[in-house]
Structure 1
Amino acid sequence: MKFTSMDELDVTPGLLTVWRAVPRGAPVGVGGAGWVADGRAASYVQEAHIAGALAGGRGAERAPAWLASAFEMPGADAGVLEGALLAWIDRHESLRSRLVPADEVDGSDEAEESDDGGLRRVTLPAGGVSLRRGVEGDFESGKLLASRIEDVFDAETDPLAWPSFVFATVEHAGGLTLYLGFDHSNVDGYSILLIAHEIRELYAAVSSGTPSALTEVGSYLDFADTEREYAALVHDEHDAVVRWREFLGSGGGRLPEFPGTVGSALSGRGALSGPAPSDRPADAVGEQIGGCDWLLDASTAGAFQSACRDHGGNFLTGVLACLALASRDLDVGTDRGRDPRGQGEFRALTPFHTRSDARWAYSVGWYVGLAPLRFAVRGDDAFADLLPAASAALDGAGEMAAIPFPRVSELLGTPLRPRFVVSYMDMRRTPGARQWGAWKAAALRSRCVDPDEVYLWINRTYEGVYLSFRHPATEHARLAVSRLVAGTGRLMNRVAGGGPPGEPADVKDVLLRDLVPARQQEPAPC
């Protein structure tokens, strides 16, 4: 399944209809009907996300923060689809719940006593949601249609409103494509991967009049409440918090940044060798762009995994070793990331899921924590040398990620902003993964505005391994990230059998090639 932005998706033109959730029985424009006070607390990530939105004020323009799923449906019966979508909303309680400031809840005087930022939860019961459809029109251009769907997602995934999600269908000669967009407070990346299988299963069940084969799932609301209780017991001398403090201190009080230069030519943060390229205009500061490159095909991915195991590692530690080696040469000509002895470090944050109980395995929600990664990379290190270091860096990382990142920030007494994040997911374990190609399934992310964030998502599918990325829209960032991706891919292929696993790749030969835009490099299905 491709994980990318809407403007890179091949959208089939057709008739666009937008589907909006409303409380059942509520008149148009009225949102108060049916809501029931719910004592379960917000999760820490939800609280931080909503607090950030509230800080800008209601009605203020804010950058979108949505995730979405798109896939072909097995039929175009609107009544059956409505039944499937409503059954899916009933299945995942978090979609029927919202968090509001306590002073906006009638009769509430408990804001000062709240441990979740003064937020109060209200929830609709199962069966308490209806869907209303609005035809947007027939689009002859896939690009214009993609832009319109993105506009709808931007406008109607407001974290301060309910619903903070919206659905859309496109009817075309080949059938029907379903698009579902959600503010991040509702979902994580894995939740997005689950959607196609579940809704297609529910569609089949409604169509046939038989129960679906889906197993029951737990509620993210229960998880959030339990997480809150656990996180309240964590203190500033907890082992994980001590490790976070040491990690922060080793970086001069800052979280890791991308190992290459990503800012403008005038930023003073180092430069690539050769003349400085022209940069984006000043009024574009903060805009981000992204792409997606294949690293390995399926058979080479299997060979890479075997080579990692032969050298005492696993697939993830092998990926990190290759990333570290490719990163090592990005700052040639600068002193970033190296000490006077030529000793460098690979530093990043990495996400881990927090689905700690089987009941949350297929639940829709934001089940993600962050953990720090840090290990030494010497100038003469080869792949096999770095596997033990990468393994040691991951030791205990899952336990650290179980403490919500906003809670870590709270305990350390300093705001923490991730700037360089490396994610790995084996998507093959997800229900429906073998059918994603046939379903033309895609996972989508909203545009992002940030002057120095770099995110890398390495995903393994049945077709192989690809790396999706986003970074500042500067020429420096485009070159640096493209070089890192190319170097990592070449190293992984060499480890898999294209060369001796211990042989350091001549990364600079790869990095200085003429680079074409990532979207032109993508073979199907990425």
Structure 2
Amino acid sequence: MEYTHLSEFEIRSGTLSMWTPELAAAAWRPDDRPLTSVHAGYCASVDPADPLPGRGRWIGTVFEMDAPLDRSAWRETLRRWHTRHEGLRTTVTTATAGESRRLVGAPAAVDIAERPVAGLTDGARINEFLRDTFEQRLSPLVWPHCLAATVEHADTSDFTVLVAADHSVMDAYSQAILILELRTLYREVIAGAQARESVTFGSAADFAVLERARAAELDADSPAVATWREFLADGAMPRFAPHAQRPAPADLPQPSVSRRLLDLAELEHVEAVLDQVRHRTSVAVFAALAVANQQRFGTDRMRTVMPIATRPDLRWMESMGWFVNVVPVDIALQPGVGITEAMDLARTALRRSRSANDASWSRVLDLLEVAETPRFGISFLDIRVLPGYELVADLRGRTLRAESYSSDEVFLWVVRAADGLYVSTRYPAGFPAEVMDEFLTAFGQALISITATAHADTSVGGHPSMSAIAPAGPGEVPTPTEPRDVGADALRLAVQAG
């Protein structure tokens, strides 16, 4: 599954409709549960007078439903979805001074309104219309925070589904799981069946209570704060290859690149070797990125932040919400180091970052009096933790991000998909495209080199080195040869989400 811009997805021509959730004013109730630390800070950072609140902020999902569009059934599908997930019926009020407060809408009061968009059937024009609509209408301060669109394709008896949301009510894992959830709900409605009940649709607001309690326990002597303090010892968030940056107008959108680094045969070859030397795919990814960073930019130290999933219990396994923390990763290489040693160092760095897993990064930065936010991040997702992940590719499923206009942020998303390993990135308009291309090429080559290097290391006596057979620990994604536990712990460790 690629993580890309909507502009890079070819929407087939058809009949467009927008689907908007509605709640009467009387259906909203004040809720004493707090916002998470990051949610509160995010709301405070948004200008309520911004005419384009979704610009650079919205995220979403697009896929093709393998069934004809029954409008009544689709409306009921979306109604059930909003009823199920309290996070989709949650908003904030800024009527009082200080932090935004939570409002929750009654589930029985939710309705879904369809608005056909007449005279717009060309796929390219639909794509442009939707991008403009999401920039104008999606905000953390104004409900609804989630919108849906359908494009009916009468000639093929199916329809495209696009769901877009403000980041405050959705994370990367939510983006991925909603494809099969909406498909299942739609089939239940068509069949006249009741919606599946589950304890795994827990409220994001209940998670916020837990997160804020943990955040309140942090102080200057907490291990997580010490980890971040060391990471920020030079007083600044790390940047990606700042010396390669060139001046560019501030209003230019960031370029985006999405490519398959390894096809399935290449990836499985790499993973077989990783299994021999007891390393996980996530370790290999971070090691290869550190090696590519050293080779292309002459830097022996790669400092970055890593988004991680923070769904600490099964009750939030299938929830819609923003369950993400950020941890620091610091990988220092010796000059000319090989990929085998780089993987050992990367594993050590990933394990070190675990001390910050449960510590709200925004609260930690407050304690350290650091106002700067992360500028360079790397996220990893193994899509095989998702139930029914094989079907996502058949439905042309993509997770989406809005175009960014940052002049200094660089983010990379690496996805272990059903058919190979993908990387997507966004970077400043002033960063040369050829330099990013060379870096991504070096990244792929470093991954491929694992096969030759690891075989060489294990050729004598047929046994890997002692350092290579150290038990693989949390923070690393299971390889295909291991039993696949999709419980909360597996999700927490295997999904490092944006």
TM-score computed with the length of structure 1 as normaliser: 0.82
Structure 1 residues 325 and 462 mapped into 2: Cα distance closer, same or farther (>3 Å)? same
Residues in 1 aligned to 2:331 and 2:82: alpha-carbon distance in whole angstroms: 43
List per-residue Cα deviations over 1:409-441 (Å, max 9, x = no partner). Answer: 111112131111011110111123110122121
Residues in 1 aligned to 2:336 and 2:27: alpha-carbon distance in whole angstroms: 65
Q: In the alignment, which of 291, 297, 315 is matched to residue 331 of structure 1?
A: 297
Q: In the alignment, which of 198, 203, 210 is matched to residue 181 of structure 2?
A: 198
Deviates more, 1:386-395 or 1:252-261: 252-261
Counterpart of 1:165 in structure 2: which amino acid?
C
Aligned counterparts, 1:253-272, within 5 A: 253-259=235-241, 261-264=243-246
Q: Which residue of 1 aligns with 2:362?
A: 406
Q: Which residue of 1 aligns with 2:218?
A: 234
Residues in 1 aligned to 2:41 and 2:406: alpha-carbon distance in whole angstroms: 18
Q: Which residue of 2 aligns with 1:293?
A: 259
Q: Post-superposition shift, 1:496?
A: 3.4
Counterpart of 1:66 in structure 2: which amino acid?
W
List per-residue Cα deviations over 1:100-145 (Å, max 9, x = no partner). Answer: 1242xxxxxxx5xxxxx52211111212211111111243432211
Residues in 2 aligned to 1:178 and 1:402: alpha-carbon distance in whole angstroms: 35
Gaps in structure 2 of 5+ consecutive residues: 458-498
Q: Which residue of 2 aligns with 1:13?
A: 13
Residues in 2 aligned to 1:81 and 1:495: alpha-carbon distance in whole angstroms: 47
Counterpart of 2:78 in structure 1: which amino acid?
L
Contact persistence 1:293–1:485 (CA under 8 A) = no
Q: Post-superposition shift, 1:379?
A: 1.8
Residues in 2 aligned to 1:176 and 1:375: alpha-carbon distance in whole angstroms: 46
Structure 1 residues 283 and 397 mapped into 2: Cα distance closer, same or farther (>3 Å)? closer
Contact persistence 1:301–1:496 (CA under 8 A) = no
Corresponding position: 1:422 with 2:378? yes
Residues in 2 aligned to 1:167 and 1:380: alpha-carbon distance in whole angstroms: 50
Corresponding position: 1:305 with 2:271? yes
Residues in 1 aligned to 2:175 and 2:227: alpha-carbon distance in whole angstroms: 31
Counterpart of 1:187 in structure 2: which amino acid?
M
Structure 1 residues 345 and 176 mapped into 2: Cα distance closer, same or farther (>3 Å)? same
Counterpart of 2:241 in structure 1: which amino acid?
P
Matched residue SS, 1:480: helix
Contact persistence 2:92–2:100 (CA under 8 A) = yes
Counterpart of 1:495 in structure 2: which amino acid?
I
Contact persistence 1:260–1:331 (CA under 8 A) = no
Residues in 2 aligned to 1:481 and 1:311: alpha-carbon distance in whole angstroms: 30
Q: Post-superposition shift, 1:226?
A: 1.4
Counterpart of 2:61 in structure 1: which amino acid?
S
Deviates more, 1:191-200 or 1:167-176: 167-176
Matched residue SS, 2:411: strand
Residues in 1 aligned to 2:250 and 2:412: alpha-carbon distance in whole angstroms: 26
Aligned-pair RMSD on alpha carbons? Answer: 2.0
Q: Percentage identity across aligned positions?
A: 28
Corresponding position: 1:491 with 2:471? no
List per-residue Cα deviations over 1:176-228 (Å, max 9, x = no partner). Answer: 11111000001100100011111111111111111344633111110011111
Q: Post-superposition shift, 1:306?
A: 2.5
Residues in 2 aligned to 1:156 and 1:21: alpha-carbon distance in whole angstroms: 13
List per-residue Cα deviations over 1:381-430 (Å, max 9, x = no partner). Answer: 00011111111101142341321221111111121311110111101111
Contact persistence 1:16–1:138 (CA under 8 A) = no
Q: Which residue of 2 aligns with 1:436?
A: 392
Aligned counterparts, 1:58-97, within 5 A: 58-62=49-53, 63-73=55-65, 74-97=67-90
Counterpart of 1:236 in structure 2: which amino acid?
A
Gaps in structure 1 of 5+ consecutive residues: 27-31, 104-110, 112-116, 267-279, 338-343, 503-526
Q: Which residue of 1 aligns with 2:148?
A: 167
Residues in 1 aligned to 2:73 and 2:407: alpha-carbon distance in whole angstroms: 45
Residues in 2 aligned to 1:253 and 1:325: alpha-carbon distance in whole angstroms: 25
Corresponding position: 1:37 with 2:20? no
Deviates more, 1:457-466 or 1:294-303: 294-303
Matched residue SS, 1:325: helix
TM-score computed with the length of structure 2 as normaliser: 0.87
Q: In the alignment, which of 303, 307, 313 is matched to residue 357 of structure 1?
A: 313
Q: In the alignment, which of 398, 413, 417 is matched to residue 457 of structure 1?
A: 413
